């Protein structure tokens, strides 16, 4: 759901201590960006959080990179495998070292990136960075371990599929996209996951393609200096050999007409509807995405006319939410509702469609736009309460644009958005040819 945040040999530097570009400063912390000769990027953000370091390692590989038929789900799979041990550390040794350091460690995969993160005492940085670098450079797993983890991934898929919302968005993606890899979710297609235990050899190919320094950014936030971070990054990651693989990701062609689908749910559930329009990709230069971001709270948020009507006044809906994340390639602006009474599904769907149409014809008052602009800025800054929260915020933008500079550029762009920009882009994207609607309801029993 949309959040308002609220590189061979001992590497020398190609760029050192690259300063922020001369743009309006929204992100308040100083930072440096360095690129090693093997392509690995280091971002250092010293903060006032004493004796704590948040280490985020951003790999720009997600389900978007799964371009070969029958091979979806491998980006998420490697999020699992990276905890199974490496050349010099077993998984048990890794867990013991993390536990000894009192470190919080985890990972996540999205359409565009995989992020490994840990929070720990600054005094443990040397040992933990050495541990992390080893699995990125020398991941090691046996075929039995691979098959065990593949079955675990299948179990996770089955668990997620028991949630109607996950199934609804899986079908929405499949219907809305024809050729682009956003057609499948991060988990992948079920038939590919079921076949994953047979893809041991291919798994090595995937790892060798993407787990390379040129795809990776090491982000350190907290009680750390630029000099110390750079010294450690060169020491632990400098010998990591770069690769040369570049995926050819198919551009999604324009949708030609409205698409619809329905899901028969095998067990009792309240009905759902999701309405999705093809929207723009993330950009800190073009206003398309930034303009439509304002419609998330204004048109569909808790203070919106639609929410007030459907949820509070008429009480026909007990959940109304929006999905419009920042993506490398064009994604969907989707609104989902859970409806209390099956007879109201069409009514709720029509009200959502009318709201999209309204903002394609009606300009937002400037004072409303300015108020929302302030809320976005305040809500974002309010989230920077710790080294971990700052690093987590930056990781997504680094995955998108490779540098914290993009945050300042984006919020400068938000300041430039006018009511006309919002209206023009709503007209551009919220058209029938861009629309996909999916409903989900309990399967009706067949009459005997």
The continuous run of DSSP H or E covering 421 comes out as: helix 419-429
- Could you report the per-residue pLDDT of 404-444, keeping only the tens digit for each? 999 999 999 999 999 999 999 999 999 999 999 999 999 88
In eight-state DSSP terms, residue 139 is B
CATH number (3.40.50.11930, 3.30.830.10, 3.40.640.10, 3.40.50.1400) of 13-237 reads 3.30.830.10
| Residue ranges of the chain assigned to CATH 3.30.830.10 | 13-237, 259-442
- Could you report the per-residue pLDDT of 422-433, keeping only the tens digit for each? 999 999 999 999
pLDDT value, residue 19: 37
Sign of the dihedral through C-alpha 256, 252, 70, 64: negative
Q: How confident is the model at residue 448 (pLDDT cuts 50, 70, 90)?
A: very low
pLDDT value, residue 444: 80
Distance CA 210, CA 107 (A): 16
- Could you report the per-residue pLDDT of 42-72, keeping only the tens digit for each? 999 999 999 999 999 999 999 999 999 999 9
User: Is residue 429 within 8 Å of residue 278, measured between CB atoms?
Assistant: yes
Average per-residue pLDDT for the chain:
93
Mean pLDDT calculated for residue range 18-39: 80
Strand partners, 57: 116, 218
Residue matched to tokens 């050899």: 201
Is residue 363 over pLDDT 70? yes
Nearest to 206, CA basis, from 222, 231, 188, 190: 188
Tokens of 398: 């680094």
The full DSSP string for 43-101 is EEEE-S-TTEEEEEEEE--SGGG--STT-TTHHHHHHHHTTSBBSS-BHHHHHHHHHHH
Is residue 265 over pLDDT 90? yes
Among residues of the chain, what percentage have pLDDT more than 90? 92
332-339 and 114-121: which strand pairing? unpaired
Say which CATH architecture domain 259-442 belongs to. 2-Layer Sandwich (3.30)
Nearest to 59, CA basis, from 202, 182, 180, 209: 209
- Could you report the per-residue pLDDT of 155-181, keeping only the tens digit for each? 999 999 899 999 999 999 999 999 999
Is residue 285 over pLDDT 50? yes
Distance CA 385, CA 129 (A): 24
Distance CA 168, CA 273 (A): 8
Mean pLDDT calculated for residue range 338-362: 98
Q: How confident is the model at residue 24 (pLDDT cuts 50, 70, 90)?
A: low
Query: Phi then psi for 374, rounded to 5 degrees?
Result: -65, -40
Is residue 447 over pLDDT 70? no
Is residue 6 over pLDDT 60? no
| pTM to 2 decimal places | 0.91
List, in order, residues 6 or more apart from 155 with CB less than 8 Å away. Answer: none
Mean pLDDT calculated for residue range 135-161: 95
Least confident residue range of 16-25, 118-127, 419-428: 16-25
């Amino acid at each position: 759901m949309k959040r308002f945040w609220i590189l061979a040999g001992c590497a020398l530097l190609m760029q050192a201590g690259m300063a922020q570009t001369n743009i309006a400063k929204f992100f308040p912390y100083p930072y440096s960006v360095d690129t090693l000769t093997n392509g690995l990027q280091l971002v250092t953000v010293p903060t006032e959080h004493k004796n704590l370091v948040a280490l985020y390692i951003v790999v720009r590989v997600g389900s978007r990179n799964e371009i070969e038929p029958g091979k979806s789900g491998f980006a998420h799979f490697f999020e699992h495998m990276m905890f199974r041990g490496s050349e010099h550390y077993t998984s048990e040794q890794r867990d013991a070292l993390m536990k000894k350091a009192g470190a919080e460690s985890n990972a996540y995969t999205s359409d565009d990136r995989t992020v490994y993160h840990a929070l720990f005492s600054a005094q443990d940085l040397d040992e933990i960075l050495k541990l992390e670098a080893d699995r990125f450079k020398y991941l090691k797993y046996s075929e039995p371990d691979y098959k065990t983890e593949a079955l675990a991934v299948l179990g996770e898929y089955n668990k997620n599929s028991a949630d109607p919302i996950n199934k609804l968005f899986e079908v929405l993606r499949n219907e809305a996209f024809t050729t682009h890899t956003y057609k499948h979710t991060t988990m992948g297609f079920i038939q590919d996951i079921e076949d994953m235990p047979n893809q041991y050899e291919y798994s090595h190919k995937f790892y060798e393609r993407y787990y390379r320094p040129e795809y990776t950014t090491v982000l350190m936030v907290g009680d750390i200096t630029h000099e110390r971070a750079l010294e450690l990054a060169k020491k632990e990651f400098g010998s990591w050999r770069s690769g040369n693989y570049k995926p050819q990701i198919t551009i999604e062609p324009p949708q030609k007409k409205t698409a619809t689908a329905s899901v028969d749910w095998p067990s009792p559930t309240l009905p759902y509807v999701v309405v999705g329009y093809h929207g723009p990709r993330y950009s800190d230069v073009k206003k398309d995405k930034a303009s439509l971001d304002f419609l998330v709270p204004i048109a569909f948020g808790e203070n919106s006319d639609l929410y007030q009507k459907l949820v509070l006044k008429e009480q026909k809906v007990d959940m109304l939410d929006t999905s419009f994340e920042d993506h490398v390639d064009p994604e969907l602006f989707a609104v989902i509702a859970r409806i209390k009474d099956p007879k109201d599904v069409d009514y709720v769907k029509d009200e959502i469609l009318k709201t999209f149409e309204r903002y394609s014809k009606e300009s937002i008052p400037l004072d409303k736009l300015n108020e929302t602009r302030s809320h976005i800025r305040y809500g974002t800054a309010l989230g920077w309460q710790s080294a971990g929260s700052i690093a987590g915020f930056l990781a997504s933008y680094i995955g998108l644009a490779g540098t914290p500079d993009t945050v300042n550029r984006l919020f400068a762009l938000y300041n430039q958005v006018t009511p006309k920009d919002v209206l023009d882009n709503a007209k551009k994207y919220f058209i029938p040819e861009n629309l996909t609607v999916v409903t989900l309801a309990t399967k009706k029993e067949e009459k005997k």
